[in-house]
Chain A
């Protein structure tokens, strides 16, 4: 089955670090860009950035540049989204999605990140 499977929900305190994951299966993981998309509570979707697993090339949205890091481990077909220091405004659902024809045709189930003191 072609799918993206994300890691489970996280509850963190402000200032803590976090890495969430997205594992692809059923397709050539290194052949498609992966995007990370944020959805804050009750809000629309925002593109965090994109990464190409083939060579780890990345592009970050200006709103997220410097606050998050995208990475990939090709050997286990897994992409990561990482924060060095969380704050309350990072509370959201984060989706990974596979890019196809400049659209996103395959989505992970989402990872809920809650940041609260």
Chain B
């Protein structure tokens, strides 16, 4: 199973909105509404931000939102804040009953 594709980096100024894309195939993102997104600060474990394409776990800010179209999913962070600077990983359930991740996108707050 090949990894999902994400941009290496995305940046934005405080208060702006940014969007991170995550492209897969018809064997993963295209076939299942089980895309999830994780935030990872340096030296820390990943934290679930979005599950099932667009659902936020309790406690996650509503500035984070997810969507999907075809084989591509997206994470949007609105009202960018300094604390949002981190790596963001997407993941999808696959036809092999396992999970594939993207390489991660580094978000920089300018």
Measured CB to CB, the residues of A under 8 A from B are 35, 37, 43-47, 49-50, 59, 61-62, 95, 97, 100-105, 107-110
Contact A59 B45 (CB under 8 A): no
Q: Which of A50, A59, A101 is close to B52, meaning CB atoms less than 8 Å apart?
A: A101
Q: Which of A50, A61, A104, A108 is close to B48, meaning CB atoms less than 8 Å apart?
A: A104
Q: Which of B1, B46, B93 is close to A45, meaning CB atoms less than 8 Å apart?
A: B46
Q: Provide a sorted-by-A list of 24 A–B residue pairs whose CB atoms are within 8 angstroms.
A: A35-B99, A43-B103, A44-B101, A44-B102, A45-B89, A45-B104, A46-B3, A46-B101, A47-B99, A59-B97, A59-B98, A61-B1, A62-B96, A95-B46, A100-B51, A101-B51, A102-B32, A102-B93, A104-B38, A104-B46, A105-B51, A108-B45, A109-B45, A110-B45
Complexed CA–CA distance, A108 and B45 (Å): 7
Contact A103 B46 (CB under 8 A): no
- Indicate the member of B38, B45, B47, B100 with the most A CB atoms within 10 Å: B45
Contact residues on B (Cβ < 8 Å of other chain), bracket: 20 to 34
Q: Which of A44, A49, A108 is close to B98, meaning CB atoms less than 8 Å apart?
A: A49
Residues of A within 8 A of B101 (CB): 37, 44-47
Measured CB to CB, the residues of B under 8 A from A are 1, 3, 32, 34, 36, 38, 45-48, 51-52, 55, 57, 89, 91, 93, 96-104
Residues of A within 8 A of B57 (CB): 105
List of 4 A-B pairs having minimum Cβ-Cβ separation, nearest first: A103-B36, A103-B51, A102-B34, A44-B103
Complexed CA–CA distance, A43 and B6 (Å): 13
Given contacts A44-B3, A44-B89, A61-B1, are A105 and B48 in contact (CB under 8 A)?
yes
With A45-B91, A47-B98, A103-B36 known, 10 other A-B pairs at CB within 8 A are A45-B89, A45-B104, A46-B101, A47-B101, A95-B45, A101-B55, A102-B32, A102-B93, A102-B99, A107-B47
Residues of A within 8 A of B97 (CB): 59
Residues of A within 8 A of B52 (CB): 101-103
Residues of A within 8 A of B32 (CB): 102
